[in-house]
Structure 1
Amino acid sequence: MANLSPGSFFLQTNGNSNPAVASAGSLKPIVVSGNPPTFVSAPGRKIIAVGDLHGDLRKARSALHMAGVLSFDDQNLWTGGETVLIQLGDILDRGEDEIAILSLLRSLDIQAKMKGGAVFQVNGNHETMNVEGDFRYVDSGGFDECTDFLEYMSDSDDDWEETFSGWFDVSERWKEARSMSSSYWGPWNLVKRQKGVIARSILFRPGGPLACELARNPVVLKVNDWVFCHGGLLPHHVAYGIERMNKEVSHWMRGLSENDSSPKIPFKATRGYDSVVWNRLYSRDMPDLQDYQINQINSILEETLQAIGAKAMVVGHTPQITGVNCKYNCGIWCIDVGMSSGVLNSRPEVLEISGNGARAIRSKRDRYSELQAVEYT
């Protein structure tokens, strides 16, 4: 492995190294293996995990402020230094600022790498549903944003990276201009809806611009000795190979296939109740379970963690009425709090992992409140 200066970011993809130099820091460089990223070594970094956002930009910004990685002004600057930020999927559906959130996270990732940090996203079931063309949960404003973004892409002379990361800064102006237009049709006009569906299909179909953007993200990510996924990882997933699953989902989203047929949807990762993005085994309310069920689930979790070499797993997907919490001797952290106004409209909370400890935090009148803290041996 190449020798890199402290604070640099080293990306290893399919056996090839591609270093992106960052500003000097006090920690050893982050090393990422896999394409999309699957295994990450981030020595000494604080890790912040954020759950489902579902198109609610205001709540997303609040969570990022709370995490200490986003400036409070309008400059949208990364303030996390060498922190590693992980978002656990379901950015799409039920809200009107989905692409803006994706754009913001991309912009923060670019900035974070220059400071010795990084931003990772894990795809959830709503990301895979949209690439499949399942738009059942798309908000009317989400269709509007797709129409605006497609036009913005056509008008832009910049390359994709600049166009995409810059959308966050202009999306609100496009939204305001649309609402003030004399030709604005209102939220339920059928012609406007059809236009939005077509735009979304172009953007999210396999091989489409936003599907290819999502293809950069894994469905399972292991950072140090923690594993992150949207629904939940099971022993047979680990046996199948998490890097293999990540590659299969990425190829499908990119519209790639080994033959002339359409790429097959990766079943183990994206389909079925026990797939990685749909699994709810670990996030069910424990009072609803019998003792023998709790013991069985705990045994499955222990087997999974041992197989992948992790101390704990972090999942989203299932809104937790009680907020961020851990279960099964804190082998599982559930961090979907339903913060989006399209879900529970609850107060944002995040998980902070630092050293041998993890804690759930939330904002209360602009002051941070620790909800639960656990030390790992």
Structure 2
Amino acid sequence: MPACRSLRAMHALFPCLLLLATFTTSAREVAAPAEHVDADGPYVFVTAKGHEAEWICNDHIVHRTLNPRGDTTQVLPECGYPHPVTVLPPRTAEVAQYPATPRIVAVSDIHGQYDLLVGLLRAHHVIDAHDQWSLGDTTLVVAGDVFDRGPQVTEAFWLLYSLQQQARAAGGAVHFVLGNHETMVLYDDLRYVNPKYLRTAQLLGRSYPALYGPESVIGQWLRTRPVMLKIGDTLFLHGGIAPENLDLVRGMDATNATYQAALGLPRDQVKAAPDTARLFDGKTSPIWYRGYFDGQLDTAQVDALLTQLELKRIVVGHTSMPHVSSFHGDRIIAIDSSIKNGENGELLFIEDGVLSRGLLDGSRVPLAEGTMGLED
């Protein structure tokens, strides 16, 4: 009985806690730039003659002009990302609906914790000891939020960019789904940017969003990423689908295209324009919604929502959990395992419909039973 009363009390307090968290988020200020950058880069930009690459190494700019070799350009490391990069020609927007595949691995909310991500992927043989794709025809899904907080955002983006090429060559796939922090950085909301990157931007004479502008390789790549991805009967996205937004899933291709066209536009513009306002709404949009975890929807309502969309499950990041967790009878899977803290992280495995989570030591265990979370 005391435990039940305690749970009821916590549920009653939840709206107040959520309001406090929202107020704290809105009150946050942009950090001052770091005093020194040890290593960052490359930032690769498209030019009329090929590509220009820039690094910050020991607080100094290293600049290199790169000539294309056929359809690709090779970028050898100076500092920052430690591996050579093969830059491909710009791609068109990624297809976002695929048939079922026997094995999917998913992770989200990396937030600049590249070393932890590498350790986790190596532990489960997604990549080998040289950080090359090693999982054959498996599909890897990253459900948003590489930007912000941690100190190795650049490295994480280049790893995913490279793994996508390697997986495709092996018959597999790597999908990156945009999160709210991708949209925030690109529309110049820098409240969560690590001070290191503000110093990098200062040294390179650009704003931080301009380092990922339409003329940058990673910026171009981001502008072709989806917000919603459907594989078989599983929907992947960063935040979630509110009941009033089912049409956004039914018109997934149009929804993704609208997001992609809006990336980098001013925040006030995308939040006010009729065709984008609900896509960027801080409470109900697909990149922000938390209604599966805060009591807005009960299990019956979640079941009805998925039935209408003809889905078996929805996999989301955004709301931090201590573990990859199951909610509403495995209908909602939360995969933000708090990698952002730089201490631990987990992977979701979906193998012929069987769900498990992969731990940092390489072991596999059942999904955790979900508990409420507040953090983004």
Q: Give yes or no for TM over 0.5.
A: yes
Q: How does 1:1-377 map to 2 (within 5 A)?
A: 35-43=93-101, 45-72=102-129, 75-144=130-199, 146-147=200-201, 194-195=202-203, 198-205=206-213, 209-240=217-248, 241-253=251-263, 266-284=276-294, 289=295, 296-321=297-322, 323-340=323-340, 344-364=341-361, 367-372=362-367
Identity score, percent:
28
Decide whether the 8 Å contact of 1:36 with 1:246 is kept in 2. no
Letter in 2 for 1:327: F
Seen in structure 2, the aligned counterparts of structure 1 residues 264 and 88 have a Cα distance that, compared at 3 Å, is same
Q: Distance in 2 between matches of 1:303 and 1:38?
A: 23
State the 4+ residue runs in structure 1 displaced beyond 6 angstroms.
Answer: 262-265
Paired residues of 2:96 and 2:228 also in contact (CA < 8 A)? yes
Q: Distance in 1 between matches of 2:358 and 2:191?
A: 33
The residue type equivalent to 1:71 in the other structure is D
Distance of aligned partners of 1:37 and 1:238 in 2 relative to their CA distance in 1, 3 Å threshold: farther
Unaligned runs of 5+ in 2: 1-91, 266-271, 370-376
The structure where helix makes up a greater share of residues is 1
Distance 2:164 2:219 in 1: 18
Shift of 1:251: 1.2
2:339 alignment partner, SS class: coil
Following superposition, the deviation at residue 272 of structure 1 comes to: 2.5
Unaligned runs of 5+ in 1: 1-33, 148-193, 256-261
In 2, Cα distance between the equivalents of 1:356 and 1:62? 26
Query: How many Å apart are 1:67 and its aligned residue?
Result: 3.6
TM-score, structure 1 as length reference? 0.66
CA RMSD, Structure 1 to Structure 2 (Å): 2.7
Instruction: Quote the residue 1:178 is aligned against.
Output: none
Q: Deviations over 1:75-124 (max 9, x none)?
A: 32110101000001110000121121111111111011111100001110
Is the partner of 2:278 in helix, strand or coil? helix
TM-aligned CA distance change 1:94 to 1:117, over 3 Å = same
Secondary structure at the residue paired with 1:347? coil
8 A Cα contact 2:104 2:141, kept in partner: yes
Note if contact 1:206-1:252 (Cα within 8 Å) is conserved in structure 2: no
Q: Within 2, Cα distance between the matches of 1:94 and 1:223?
A: 30
